[in-house]
Amino acid sequence: MRLYFKPGACSLASRIVLIELGRDFTAVSVDTDAGRTEDGRDYRAVNPRGYVPALELDDGRVITENPALLQYLGDLEPGLLTPPAGSWDRVRLQEALNFISSELHKAFSPFFQGEATGDRLASAQAHLSRRVGEVERMLDGGSAYLLGDRMSVADVYLFVVLNWAGFIGFELQDWPRVSDFMARMGERPSVQAALTQEGLLKAAA
C-alpha cells in the first residue's frame, strides 16, 4: 500500500492507523500546492482532487476521503478499530467521522487559508470554539474515547484535527475532556511514531 500524505495534514490519521495495525506501507510525500509527489509525479493522476490523503492499494485502486479511507483500514482487522458493519456502534462511528470531516475539520480551514485575520479572526475563533464544545459534549459520559473505552478510527481522526490547535495558537484548556483526550491519545506509541515520522515530534535520544 502507498499512503500519499502531507506532514501534519489529516493524512496523519491514516498513518497512525496503519502503524496501530502493524501494516506495511510506503509513505509518499505530496506537495499539494505544486501537485507533485516527492518523486516528481503528477499527484492528480492519483487523486484528481489534489488533496491528501490517498491510499493506493497493491492492485492499483485508490481510496480517498478520510471517512471512507479510515473505515477501510479499520476493517482490515475487524473489531479492533471499527465496530461491525450494521451495528449501532458502526452508525455512531460514521456519525463521528462525518462530523469531524464536515464540521470540525472545516472550522480550522480559515486559519490555514489566511482568512482568519482582522475582523474575521474573532468569528473564526468563535466558530471553532463551538465545534470544540461539541466534541466536549461527545466525550461526556465517562468513557475514554468517542465510542466507549476502546479507541476507534474516529478517535484517531479527532486527535489529528484537534492537534492543529497548537499550530494556530488555539488553546484547548477550557475543555477538560478534550484536553484529557488529547493527552491520552498523544501517549499512544502509534501516535508518537507517526508524529516522529512526519517530523512533528523529536525522536527520543
Q: Are strands 54-56 and 2-5 parallel, antiparallel or unpaired?
A: antiparallel
Containing 47, the helix (H) or strand (E) segment is none
- pLDDT, residue 201, reads 83
Give dist(CA 154, CA 166) in Å, integer: 20
Lowest mean pLDDT among 108-122, 156-170, 183-197: 108-122
> For 3-53, what is each residue's pLDDT tens digit?
999 999 999 999 999 999 999 999 999 999 999 999 999 999 999 999 999
- pLDDT, residue 115, reads 77
Question: Average per-residue pLDDT in the chain?
Answer: 95
DSSP string, 65-126: SHHHHHHHHHTTSTTTSSPPTTSHHHHHHHHHHHHIIIIIHHHHHHHHTT--STHHHHHHHH
Domains of the chain: 2-79+193-197 (3.40.30.10), 88-188 (1.20.1050.10)
Q: How far is CA 101 from the centre of its chain?
A: 9
Task: Average the pLDDT over 184-197 and give the result.
Answer: 97
**CA torsion, points 181, 184, 186, 190, in degrees to nearest 10?**
-120
Percent of the chain with pLDDT over 90: 90
Residue 204: pLDDT over 70: no
Residue 144 Cα distances to 99, 156, 181, angstroms: 19, 13, 7
> Which of 41, 68, 40 lies closest to 54, judged by CA?
68
CB 190 within 8 Å of CB 25: no
Grid cell for residue 12: 496523519
Predicted confidence band of residue 82 (pLDDT cuts 50, 70, 90): very high
> For 86-109, what is each residue's pLDDT tens digit?
999 999 999 999 999 999 999 999
- pLDDT, residue 142, reads 83
pTM (two decimals): 0.95
Q: What are phi and psi of 63, to 5 degrees?
A: -115, 135
Predicted confidence band of residue 205 (pLDDT cuts 50, 70, 90): very low
